[in-house]
Structure 1
Amino acid sequence: MSGAGAPTVHADGHGLRVAVIAARWHEEIMGGLLDGALTALSHCKVEDPVVVRVPGTFELPVAASRMARSGCEAVVALGVVIRGGTPHFDYVCSAATSGLTQVSVETGVPVGFGVLTCDDEEQAYARSGLPGSQEDKGYEAASAAVSTAVVLRDVLKGWA
């Protein structure tokens, strides 16, 4: 588990428009990630985040792109991909990672990466934010997206 060294992020996201896009595969683990993301947004004073559910992790980039282009100032992408016996894992992880990166770079909208890419369900549960887990990647992804949006807003304020 690599939780060591994670920054403490506290940002005031009051007034930010934020979307949380969550896959449906592995519903219990996704529930933990989604709860963690919504808790982080509440702690960051983000009001009324939009929650969008998509079938799987592969669909996250297209939904993130639409939300980023529709006026959201931060997007949080949540998904779970668990390694199986075929290369499917590699393709989905690669597509989601590169697609979400592309959305962020092309739109200038921060995308919090809350996609768990795990060898087994035990690793996913350990990162899910559910009771007994060691990390809360949903919380971390939402905090990172809001913090980045606030930093960019504040830095660019004087340039307009």
Structure 2
Amino acid sequence: MSSQHKNLSDFSNSEVPSGASYRFGIVVAEWNAEITNALYQGAYESLLKYGTPAENIFTYPVPGSFELTSGADLLLQKGNLDAVICLGCVIQGETRHFDFICNAVANGVSNVAIKYSKPVIFGVLTTDDHQQAFDRAGGKHGNKGDEAAVTAIKMAHLAETLKA
């Protein structure tokens, strides 16, 4: 979904189920902390807004976006969670490092979700510059953390619905 003309935090056309009965893990990268902390605040506050009790939200920092995959894997190995939200930010630099990290994280998050048959949400900004990241971490395009939290609730609800 392109966010050029969409506020990531606008869910007015979308019904969000209650998060009251779900347990969520949040893995947040420490690299680009000013941005990832804003993403985290958006995700945490959205989970609370939609009824998730604070004691059902488990937060774990990891050094960078590359480590989000192993963080999610460790949480799902050990925890009784309904979904894991991965929050990070990779900003284009002068080398191809950006491409390798973005590709590895996207594939890794998908693989962990498949491995555990649990929702693992990709809340990672992959931007050309710091301004684009700030715009998507509480700026003019809303907060990708909000979107990641709502996605986690919807996917946990879908998983529960399909078990019934």
Q: Tell me if TM exceeds 0.5.
A: yes
Q: Indicate the residue corresponding to 2:150 in structure 1.
A: 143
1:29 Cα deviation after fit: 0.9
For the residue of structure 2 that corresponds to 1:15, the secondary structure is coil
Out of 13, 16, 21, which is 1:10 matched to?
A: 16
Deviation at 1:46, TM superposition (A): 1.3
Return closer, same or farther for 1:9/1:96 CA change in 2, 3 Å cut-off.
Answer: farther
Find the aligned partners of 1:26 and 1:108 in 2 and give their Cα distance: 30
Q: 2:59 matched to 1:51? A: yes
Query: 1:29 — aligned with what?
Result: 35
Aligned residues of 1:22 and 1:79 also touching (Cα < 8 A): yes
Q: Paired residue for 2:69, among 48, 61, 78?
A: 61
Deviation at 1:125, TM superposition (A): 0.4
The reply on whether 1:87 has 2:93 as its aligned counterpart is no
For 2:49, the aligned partner's letter is H
Secondary structure, in 3 states, of the residue corresponding to 1:138? helix
**Structure 1: where are the runs of 5+ without partners?**
none
**What RMSD, in angstroms, separates the aligned Cα atoms of the two structures?**
1.7
Match of 1:155 in 2: 162
Aligned sequence identity (%):
34
Shift of 1:146: 1.3
Aligned 8 A contact 2:92 2:128 in 1: yes
- Aligned with residue 119 of structure 2, among 110, 132, 137: 110
Structure 2 SS opposite 1:93: helix
How far the C-alpha of 1:4 sits from its partner, in A, is: 6.9
